[in-house]
């Protein structure tokens, strides 16, 4: 063990300051540690500088300024590493859930939707916000913080809109378009302006910006734009006509006519299911809606239809089974009036209820019910 000279200690202090260590307390601590390590090394006087460089490399991957940056982070954000660990664990959990959901979906097993939803929530509301906090805390440049923030916002909007789209919830298309607009008109300009002015990153920035623009354009190509107002009005008009005809041609009650009684039972069963669907949608809007208003505003909604017609195990509810029972009764009087048999798709048997009402949009289901009602009336 050999003691360092005062000139060697002074050299170490000057070099630490030269490398960017401005915190005096930290500089003293580093000086003390480095001196202790050097004194424990068997060094010759001529090999001092080489051995010093070798010892300094043990403190950090690139330079000793990393130590000061880490110290300042811990002083400014005491829970920095706790949040970083939460970020990593939430990211891993979200990745596992998205893979699990994909496997369950491929295998047609229950739980896929729950796994996708939980993965989206974890990634959007835990991982990305903490990622923004952790990365922006490391940077002192305002432009970099803006880039990280806008990127995190796009990630949240993108994930939430995708989840809404898969779950057939209203507002998915709006969120998707907002995400694309944020990417193209906010994130891309800020990223380009912040980095293009730097000569060393100019080429990389230009190439990355082109890639972002092309990817955003490709995503926009996949976007299903809203149909024209004329087409929307035509669909609503056709539905309103069908609804009016079907509702106004109610058969007269005749106690001596068995067919009329069975027709009335079938129509009442169809009307009951329509009322349940309209009631469920009215509860979402917190006001009473008409059938035409439900068709206009929730035409692409799947979830409310499924919950009205099927239970948690995808079995038909009583309102739907009542319709099938009443139609079977009509078939006894007038054979082959309604095809209630199971269908076969890709060598898989599908029941009548699942074929006409399961995983279908509201517009299709309401139209099917009105057509069934009209056919019953015309028997």
Confirm if 153 and 161 have CB atoms less than 8 A apart.
no
Rounded distance between C-alpha atoms, residue 286 and residue 318, angstroms: 25
Rounded distance between C-alpha atoms, residue 30 and residue 14, angstroms: 12
The pTM is what? 0.54
Rounded distance between C-alpha atoms, residue 47 and residue 4, angstroms: 12
Two tokens, residue 13: 């202090």
User: How far are the Cα atoms of 56, 128, 156, 234 from residue 231, in angstroms, in the given order?
Assistant: 72, 40, 33, 5
Q: How far apart are the first and last CA of the chain?
A: 108
CA 215, 221, 223, 225 dihedral sign is: positive
Rounded to 5 degrees, what angle do the CA atoms 241, 242, 244 make? 65
Q: What is the pLDDT of residue 34?
A: 73
Two tokens, residue 251: 């058969």
Closest residue by Cα to residue 72 from 136, 129, 23 = 23
Closest residue by Cα to residue 365 from 354, 376, 378 = 354
CB-based contacts of 55, cutoff 8 Å, min separation 6: 34, 37, 38, 41
User: How far are the Cα atoms of 12, 29, 41 from residue 2, in angstroms, in the given order?
Assistant: 16, 20, 8
pLDDT in tens, the chain (379 residues): 567 777 777 777 777 777 666 666 767 677 777 777 777 766 555 566 777 777 777 766 566 666 666 666 565 666 667 888 899 999 999 999 999 988 988 887 888 888 888 999 999 999 999 998 888 777 767 788 888 999 999 999 998 988 887 776 777 778 888 998 899 899 999 989 888 888 888 888 889 889 988 988 888 877 766 555 555 555 666 666 666 666 655 555 554 477 888 888 888 888 898 889 888 888 887 888 888 888 877 887 888 888 888 888 888 899 889 998 888 888 888 888 888 888 777 677 888 888 888 888 888 888 888 888 888 888 7
């Amino acid at each position: 063990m050999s003691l360092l000279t005062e000139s060697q200690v002074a050299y170490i202090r000057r070099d630490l300051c030269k490398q960017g260590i401005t915190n005096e307390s930290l500089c003293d601590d580093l000086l003390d540690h480095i001196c202790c390590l050097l004194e424990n090394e068997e060094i010759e006087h001529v090999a001092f500088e080489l051995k010093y460089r070798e010892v300094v490399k043990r403190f950090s991957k690139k330079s000793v300024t990393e130590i000061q940056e880490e110290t300042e982070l811990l002083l400014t954000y005491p829970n920095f590493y706790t949040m970083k660990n939460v970020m990593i664990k939430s990211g891993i959990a979200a990745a596992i859930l998205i893979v699990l959901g994909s496997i369950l979906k491929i295998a047609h097993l229950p739980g896929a939707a729950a796994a996708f939803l939980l993965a989206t929530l974890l990634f959007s509301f835990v991982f990305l916000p903490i990622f923004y906090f952790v990365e922006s805390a490391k940077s002192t440049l305002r432009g970099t913080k803006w880039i990280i923030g806008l990127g995190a916002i796009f990630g949240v909007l993108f994930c939430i809109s995708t989840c809404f789209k898969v779950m057939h919830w209203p507002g998915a298309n709006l969120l998707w378009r907002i995400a694309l607009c944020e990417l193209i008109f906010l994130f891309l300009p800020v990223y380009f302006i912040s980095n293009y002015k730097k000569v060393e990153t100019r080429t990389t920035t230009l190439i990355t910006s082109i890639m972002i623009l092309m990817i955003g354009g490709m995503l926009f190509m996949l976007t299903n734009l809203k149909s024209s107002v004329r087409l929307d009005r035509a669909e609503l008009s056709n539905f309103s006509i069908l609804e009016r005809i079907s509702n106004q041609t109610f058969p007269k009650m005749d106690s001596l006519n068995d067919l009329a009684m069975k027709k009335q039972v079938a129509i009442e069963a169809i009307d009951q299911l329509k009322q349940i669907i309209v009631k469920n949608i009215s509860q979402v809007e917190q006001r009473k809606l008409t059938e035409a208003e439900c068709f206009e505003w929730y035409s692409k909604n799947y979830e409310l239809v499924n919950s009205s017609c099927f239970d948690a195990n995808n079995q038909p509810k009583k309102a739907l089974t009542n319709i099938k029972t009443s139609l079977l009764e009509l078939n006894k009087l007038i054979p082959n009036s309604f095809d209630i048999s199971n269908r076969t798709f890709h060598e898989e048997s599908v029941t009548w209820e699942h074929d006409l009402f399961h995983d279908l949009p509201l517009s299709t289901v309401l139209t099917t019910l009105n057509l069934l009602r009209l056919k019953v009336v015309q028997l």
